[in-house]
């Protein structure tokens, strides 16, 4: 799913009105009706008090359309106008007149000076937040911040329209009290990037995109900087296997890493590479890893370094399809020298993780030795060592994009919504859960990426697909293990379920059966 920028949203609205020969007020009506339909389908006329708070711009106009339809369908509605300026939008004014024609209880004007005694919201009520939209460019004033605090104090379910009020689409929030904390956000046409970033995702617990009929040609042809990756996006990437295929067609992965006490990382990455479909897997480790790997994973081959405890001289006589380097590697002086010598001679595609990244951050000149399209998979601290500190999430994305372009690399920013960065594009993953915050989870991801590259997926597709499978495998294992007990090995075991889930059709909703009368 494409995530459109603020500027692209405005352009889409404008083109839609021109091409469909409708007014901006008509488009606003369409948006308000979609919100009403969403609420009506769930509430079915229930007389729960609904408090609709409208600003005086277009987001407030959307709220007025919603309030009007709620009123005409008999809902218990109180509408408020947050009247903190004299700059009202044209479409807001049109819909303000329209709602006055359908109810004797006109919207309550809040002057942004009076106290909150006339606003009585109970915990069981519903708040609709339509105060500010995507056009906001400065923090709200103190009175509006106090209003948002009243929302929080009430503990009422809060539904935001398009975006939680006070949240910017393209820059950080200085004070978290400037933003409405939404339980749910109904976003027009597509969600916003800020719904997925660590510093701003907390402002909406859940979101849903409503189709308001933006011009299809515009949606299809417009390139966006950000894409949201779900099953719909990865399914076309899948490569089916032919009946007469053999293991030689699915590539040879080498997992290069390990040191004394950290052979488990190589074990996990190797098993994950096999589990994701690689034809052959070879582990290259210090001598101390030989027996444990040969006994624990009979399906892989093992080559050992001449050193007992660390990688000191990388030498092998085979031609791997892809090499995953860094898991459990360590950063001893001799290992760093061996890694540098390896990079100078290597011609195979690389996936670099863990201590491989730490060595690169210690000697940044080595970045120039990486083959183009090398895949880096840093966690936040490893990323910071590579690109330096960032002031906020937007600054981080800017720096990672510049880093990717400079060295022609693919960077995986691991986290709750893992983001794959290549050149000017961001791909945000939608699978995964907090149970993945466990030792070895990153080693598993390295193995899955390697396994897909080995099978012939080009590096960017392999990375996007692997991140999805990694998260989905963890999601499917939650039922058995829960967040706290999920471990990296469980994620490997779940990869097969994740593949099968790609082709699983959603179950139709079950109709409730009427209770049978007891037999006499």
Predicted confidence at residue 506, as pLDDT, reads 75
pLDDT per residue over 487-496, tens digit each?
Answer: 999 999 999 9
Residue 513 has pLDDT above 80, yes or no: no
380-407: b (≥16 Cβ within 10 Å) or e: eebbebbbeebebbbebbebbbebbeeb
pLDDT per residue over 164-198, tens digit each?
Answer: 999 999 999 999 999 999 999 999 999 999 999 99
pLDDT per residue over 51-84, tens digit each?
Answer: 999 999 999 999 999 999 999 999 999 999 998 8
Model pTM?
Answer: 0.94
Average pLDDT over every residue of 217-237? 97
Sheet of 419-422: strand order equals 2-3, 226-229, 425-429, 419-422, 410-413, 375-376, 350-352, 322-325, 252-256, 280-285, 301-304
Do 317 and 290 contact (CB within 8 A), yes or no? no
> Roughly what angle, to the nearest 10 degrees, separates helices 441-454 and 488-501?
40
| Least confident window among 102-106, 120-124, 286-290, 330-334 | 102-106
Predicted confidence at residue 519, as pLDDT, reads 43
Do 232 and 1 contact (CB within 8 A), yes or no? yes
Model confidence at 114, in pLDDT bands (50, 70, 90)?
Answer: confident
Residue 322 has pLDDT above 50, yes or no: yes
Residue 520 has pLDDT above 50, yes or no: no
Residue 511 has pLDDT above 80, yes or no: no
Distance of CA 317 to the CA centre of its chain: 41
| Parallel/antiparallel/unpaired status of strands 50-54 and 77-82 | parallel
pLDDT per residue over 431-455, tens digit each?
Answer: 999 999 999 999 999 999 999 999 9
| Least confident window among 22-31, 101-110, 122-131, 230-239 | 101-110
Residue 498 has pLDDT above 70, yes or no: yes
Q: How many CB atoms lie within 10 A of CB 290?
A: 16
Predicted confidence at residue 510, as pLDDT, reads 58
pLDDT per residue over 452-465, tens digit each?
Answer: 999 999 999 999 99
Predicted confidence at residue 518, as pLDDT, reads 45
**Which tokens hold the place of 242?**
């032919």
pLDDT per residue over 371-421, tens digit each?
Answer: 999 999 999 999 999 999 999 999 999 999 999 999 999 999 999 999 999
Distance of CA 442 to the CA centre of its chain: 17
Average pLDDT over every residue of 318-332? 97
Do 200 and 393 contact (CB within 8 A), yes or no? yes
Model confidence at 143, in pLDDT bands (50, 70, 90)?
Answer: very high
SS (H, E, C) 196-236: CCCCCHHHEEEEEEECCCCCHHHHHHCCCCEEEECHHHHHH
Q: DSSP assignment, residue 30?
A: H
pLDDT per residue over 247-304, tens digit each?
Answer: 999 999 999 999 999 999 999 999 999 999 999 999 999 999 999 999 999 999 999 9
Backbone angles phi, psi at 426, to 5 degrees: -120, 130
Report which of 295, 237, 245, 141 is spatially closest to residue 502, judged by C-alpha positions. 237
Average pLDDT, the chain: 95
List, as own/partner pairs, every contact residues 513-520 make where C-beta atoms lie below 8 angstroms and the sequence separation is at least 24, other chains included: none
Do 264 and 245 contact (CB within 8 A), yes or no? no
């Amino acid at each position: 799913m494409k995530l459109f920028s603020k500027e692209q949203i405005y352009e889409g609205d404008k083109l839609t009105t021109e091409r469909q020969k409708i007014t901006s007020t008509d488009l606003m009506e369409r948006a308000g009706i979609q919100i009403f339909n969403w609420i009506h389908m769930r509430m079915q006329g229930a007389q729960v008090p609904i408090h609709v708070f409208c600003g005086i711009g277009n987001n407030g106009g959307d709220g007025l359309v919603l309030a009007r339809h709620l009123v005409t369908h008999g809902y218990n509605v109180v509408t408020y106008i947050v009247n903190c300026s004299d700059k009202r939008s044209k479409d807001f004014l049109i819909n303000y007149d329209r709602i006055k024609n359908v109810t004797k209880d006109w919207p309550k004007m809040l002057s942004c000076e009076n106290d909150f005694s006339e606003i009585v919201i109970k915990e069981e009520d519903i708040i609709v937040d339509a105060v500010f939209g995507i056009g906001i460019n400065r923090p709200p004033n103190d009175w509006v911040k106090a209003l948002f605090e009243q929302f929080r104090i009430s503990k009422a379910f809060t539904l935001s329209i398009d975006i939680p009020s006070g949240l910017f689409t393209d820059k950080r929030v200085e004070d978290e009290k400037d933003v409405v904390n939404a339980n749910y956000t109904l976003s027009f046409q597509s969600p916003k990037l800020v719904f997925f970033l660590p510093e701003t995702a907390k402002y909406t617990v859940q979101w849903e995109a409503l189709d308001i009929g933006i011009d299809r040609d515009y949606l299809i042809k417009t390139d966006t900087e950000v894409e949201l990756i779900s099953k719909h996006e990865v399914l076309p990437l899948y490569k089916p296997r032919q009946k007469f295929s053999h293991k030689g067609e699915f590539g040879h992965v080498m997992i290069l890493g390990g040191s004394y006490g950290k052979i488990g990382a190589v074990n996990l990455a190797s098993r994950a590479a096999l589990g994701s479909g690689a034809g052959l897997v070879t582990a290259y480790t210090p001598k101390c890893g030989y027996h444990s790997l040969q006994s624990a994973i009979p399906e892989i081959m093992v080559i050992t370094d001449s050193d007992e405890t660390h990688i000191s001289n990388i030498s092998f006589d085979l031609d791997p399809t892809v090499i995953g380097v860094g898991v459990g590697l360590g950063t001893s002086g001799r290992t760093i020298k061996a890694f540098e010598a390896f990079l100078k001679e290597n011609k195979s595609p690389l996936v670099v993780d863990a201590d491989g990244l730490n060595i690169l951050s210690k000697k940044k000149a080595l970045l120039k030795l990486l083959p183009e399209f090398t895949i880096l998979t840093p966690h936040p601290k490893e990323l910071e060592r590579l690109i330096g500190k960032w002031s906020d999430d937007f600054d981080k994305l800017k720096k990672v994009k510049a880093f990717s372009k400079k060295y022609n690399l693919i960077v995986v920013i691991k986290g709750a919504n893992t983001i794959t960065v290549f050149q000017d594009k961001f791909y945000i993953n939608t699978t995964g859960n907090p149970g993945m915050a466990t030792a070895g989870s990153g080693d598993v991801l390295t193995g899955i990426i390697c396994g897909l590259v080995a099978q012939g997926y080009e590096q960017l597709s392999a990375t996007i697909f692997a991140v999805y499978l990694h998260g989905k495998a963890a999601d499917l294992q939650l039922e058995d293990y829960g967040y706290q007990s999920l471990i990296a090995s469980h994620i490997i075991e779940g990869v097969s379920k994740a593949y099968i889930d790609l082709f699983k059709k959603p179950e139709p909703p079950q109709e409730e059966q009427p209770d049978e009368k007891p037999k006499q």
